[in-house]
Amino acid sequence: MNTVTRPRLNTVAGIAVLAVLLFPIYWMVNASLQPNGATVDTTWLPLDPDLTGYRTALAEQGPNLVTSLVVAVGSVVLSLLVAVPAAYALAQFRLRWANWVLFGILISQMIPGIVIANALYGAYADLGLLNSIPGLILADSTAGIPFAILICRALMQGLPPALVEAALVDGAGPVRAFVSVVLPISRNALITAALFTFLFTWGDFLFALTLTTTEDVRPVTLGIYNYLGAYVNDWSSVMATAVLASIPAIVLLVVAQKYVAAGATGGAVK
């Protein structure tokens, strides 16, 4: 096989694999534009597109989309507020118990989500946090905080101590040095941690199912789950809801992909 043919075959193989991976997304969009709401007779192309499914989805699932957005943003903010200072302390301060803390963080990542959800349900029932946005934010942050600590600490370990020392010599306090020097340098790690926390919270189903029992506070994942049971004959609305729920994640991944690549490898080499 000559050197010209090999790249072409690799390109064709890559396109074929990409087409297989993207086909479910295409079919979701195609089904959301079908006028009859069924998928049995769905054509390969939406030759007669209808936006009725999207109108229905926005009318009935719009509040759930807003709830998911508020919970996801809140989880990102809470996770970073807790994780970033903790990661800096574990990376730069000489703490005897730092390795034990990291070990505990790793162990916490191995606990099944259903165990945490059941434990939180009992605590939330006593504290009155069931069916509340703050309760969902706190629950989703239990996964975001450990991950953010590990990502941010990996990068902050490579920060030269002289940078912070120079800020202190210039008259900045510890807090100002952290905010003005450490955070800007750690931008890639912060964006990476924020993105993955948002994606986890946006797609969370377990905490939403366990910690909400009414329709007052209902993320879109739980809304789609209940939607299937009530409107299983109207697949265009179901698929339209899925498309709308996918847009924030797709946009964030496209915008932040270069920061994620840099943040994921930022702590690999000092």
The C-alpha atoms of residue 81 and residue 91 are separated, in whole angstroms, by: 16
* Tens-place pLDDT, residues 16-41: 999 999 998 998 898 888 876 665 56
pLDDT exceeding 90 applies to what percent of the chain?
Answer: 37
Report pLDDT for 146.
Answer: 92
Mean pLDDT within 254-260: 79
Structural domains present in the chain: 57-265 (1.10.3720.10)
- Measured between alpha carbons, how far is 184 from 78 in angstroms, rounded to an integer? 19
pLDDT at position 165: 79
pLDDT at 36: 66
For residue 133, give the H/E element and its range: helix 133-156
Whole-number Å distance between alpha carbons of 104 and 179:
27
Q: Quick check: 228 pLDDT over 90?
A: no
Place of tokens 């450490």: 182
Could you tell me the pTM of the whole model?
0.86
What's the Cα-to-Cα distance from 52 to each of 58, 83, 142, 144, 239, rounded to whole Å? Answer: 10, 43, 38, 37, 12
Is pLDDT at 270 greater than 50 in this prediction?
no
CA-to-CA separations, 254 to 97, 192, 260, in angstroms, rounded: 39, 13, 10
Residue 122 host element (H or E): helix 113-127
**pLDDT tens digits, 114-127:** 899 999 999 999 99
Per-position DSSP letters for 39-90, written without gaps between them: STT--SS-SS---HHHHHHHHHHHHHHHHHHHHHHHHHHHHHHHHHHHHHHH
Instruction: Return the amino acid letter for 58.
Output: L
Residues 72 and 237: their CA atoms lie apart, in Å, by 23
> Minimum mean pLDDT among 3-12, 50-59, 69-78: which range?
3-12
pLDDT the model gives residue 229: 63
Q: 88 with 156: CB under 8 angstroms?
A: yes
Given a cut of 90, whether residue 202 has pLDDT beyond it is yes
Mean pLDDT of the chain: 85
Q: Name the DSSP class of 212.
A: -
SS (H, E, C) 135-184: HHHHHHHHHHHHHHHHHHHHHHCCCCHHHHHHHHHCCCCHHHHHHHHHHH
218: left (phi over 0), alpha (psi -120 to 50) or beta: beta
| C-alpha 166, offset from chain centre | 36
